[in-house]
Structure 1
Amino acid sequence: MLVRIITGIIGITAAAFVIQTGGVVFAGFTLLLMLLAWFEYVRAFSERGMGIALVTGFIALAAMWYAAWQKPELLALACPLIVLVMLLESVLMRGSTSIMDALASGAGLIYIGFPFTCLLQLRGMLPETVFSTEISSFTFGCAFVWIMFIGTWASDTFAYFTGTAIGRHKLCPSISPNKTIEGFMGSVIGTTAVVAGLGYYLNLPLQEMAVLGLLIAIFATLGDLVESVAKRYVGIKDSGNIIPGHGGVWDRFDSVLFTAPLVFYFVQFVNLLGK
Structure 2
Amino acid sequence: MSDKMRNLMVRTLSGAVLLAVVLGAAYGGRYSYGVLLGVILFVGMLEFYRLATATGSSPQHVPGLVAGVTLFLTGFFHFVGYGSEAGPDWALIIGGIVYFVLLIPAIFIIELFKNSKTPLRNIATTLMGIWYVASPLTLMLLIPLMLGGGEWQAEAFLFYLFIVWANDVCAYLVGVTMGKHRMCERISPKKSWEGFFGGVVGALGMGALGSAVVGGSVAMWLGLAAIVAVTGVLGDLVESMFKREADIKDSGNILPGHGGMLDRFDAVLISSPFAFVYLLIYLM
Amino acid of the residue matched to residue 30 of structure 1? L
Separation in structure 1 between the aligned mates of residue 76 and residue 192 of structure 2, nearest angstrom:
39
Separation in structure 2 between the aligned mates of residue 129 and residue 45 of structure 1, nearest angstrom:
38
Does 2:63 match 1:56? yes
Q: 2:120 is matched with which residue?
A: 99
Q: Deviations over 1:50-77 (max 9, x none)?
A: 1111111221122112111113456666
Summarize the alignment of residues 158-173 of structure 1 with structure 2, pairs less than 5 Å apart: 158-173=170-185
Residue 148 of structure 1 contacts residue 263 of structure 1 at CA under 8 Å; is this kept in 2?
Answer: no
| TM-score, normalised with respect to structure 1 | 0.87
Q: CA deviation at 1:128?
A: 7.6
Does 2:202 match 1:195? no
Q: 1:9 is matched with which residue?
A: 16
Label 1:128 to 1:253 Cα distance change in 2 as closer, same or farther (>3 A). closer
Label 1:199 to 1:107 Cα distance change in 2 as closer, same or farther (>3 A). same
Residue 241 of structure 1 contacts residue 248 of structure 1 at CA under 8 Å; is this kept in 2?
Answer: yes
Summarize the alignment of residues 33-112 of structure 1 with structure 2, pairs less than 5 Å apart: 33-70=40-77, 71-72=91-92, 80-81=100-101, 82-93=103-114, 95=116, 98-112=119-133
Residue 53 of structure 1 contacts residue 105 of structure 1 at CA under 8 Å; is this kept in 2?
Answer: yes
Quote the RMSD (CA, aligned, Å).
2.3
Q: SS of the residue aligned with 1:179?
A: strand
Summarize the alignment of residues 213-252 of structure 1 with structure 2, pairs less than 5 Å apart: 213-252=225-264
Q: SS of the residue aligned with 1:254?
A: helix
Residue 146 of structure 2 contacts residue 279 of structure 2 at CA under 8 Å; is this kept in 1?
Answer: no
Label 1:104 to 1:168 Cα distance change in 2 as closer, same or farther (>3 A). same
Q: Report how many residues are paired.
A: 263
Residue 89 of structure 1 contacts residue 97 of structure 1 at CA under 8 Å; is this kept in 2?
Answer: no
Q: CA deviation at 1:13?
A: 1.1
Label 1:3 to 1:167 Cα distance change in 2 as closer, same or farther (>3 A). same
The percent of aligned pairs where both chains have the same amino acid is 26
Residue 166 of structure 2 contacts residue 199 of structure 2 at CA under 8 Å; is this kept in 1?
Answer: yes
Q: 2:3 is matched with which residue?
A: none
Separation in structure 1 between the aligned mates of residue 238 and residue 203 of structure 2, nearest angstrom:
20
Amino acid of the residue matched to residue 38 of structure 1? M
Residue 243 of structure 2 contacts residue 250 of structure 2 at CA under 8 Å; is this kept in 1?
Answer: yes
Separation in structure 2 between the aligned mates of residue 126 and residue 225 of structure 1, nearest angstrom:
27
Label 1:189 to 1:80 Cα distance change in 2 as closer, same or farther (>3 A). farther
Does 2:28 match 1:28? no
Does 2:198 match 1:186? yes
Label 1:88 to 1:153 Cα distance change in 2 as closer, same or farther (>3 A). same
Q: 1:146 is matched with which residue?
A: 158
Q: Deviations over 1:169-217 (max 9, x none)?
A: 1000000001000000101111112102221333421122111111110
Structure 2: which 5+ runs fail to align?
1-7, 78-90
Q: CA deviation at 1:112?
A: 0.6
Residue 87 of structure 1 contacts residue 99 of structure 1 at CA under 8 Å; is this kept in 2?
Answer: no
Q: SS of the residue aligned with 1:39?
A: helix
Does 2:103 match 1:113? no
Label 1:39 to 1:158 Cα distance change in 2 as closer, same or farther (>3 A). same
Label 1:97 to 1:211 Cα distance change in 2 as closer, same or farther (>3 A). same
Report which stretch shifted further, 72-81 or 250-259: 72-81
